[in-house]
Amino acid sequence: MEGTLIEIVYLDGTESKVSNDVLDVLIATDKILRFKRDTGWVDIIRKNAKLRDYRSREAYVGQERRAPWPKK
């Protein structure tokens, strides 16, 4: 089963669709202008994006379910 793809707009105006994991990386590296949620477009440049901080350990209470990074 393929995950949901999220519409994005890169800095040069190119439109694409990416997975949630790729979206996280693109936001963190300032590679996109905006992405689309069910409620509309989120503009990254204006910093009005209400994004989760995945570095915050207090954000989630429960067992860690993410798989570890594969070893090389």
The pTM of this model reads: 0.60
The answer to whether 30 and 44 are in contact (CB under 8 A) is yes
Ordered by start, the domain boundaries in the chain are 6-54
Which pLDDT score is estimated for 28? Answer: 84
Rg over alpha carbons for the chain, rounded to the nearest Å, is 14
- Residue 58 phi, psi (nearest 5): -75, -15
pLDDT, one tens digit for every residue, the chain (72 residues): 357 899 999 999 999 999 998 998 898 888 999 999 999 999 886 555 555 555 555 666 777 777 777 776
Q: Where do runs of H (alpha helix) occur along the chain?
A: 20-28
Please tell me the predicted confidence (pLDDT) of residue 1. Answer: 39
Helix (H) or strand (E) holding 43: strand 40-43
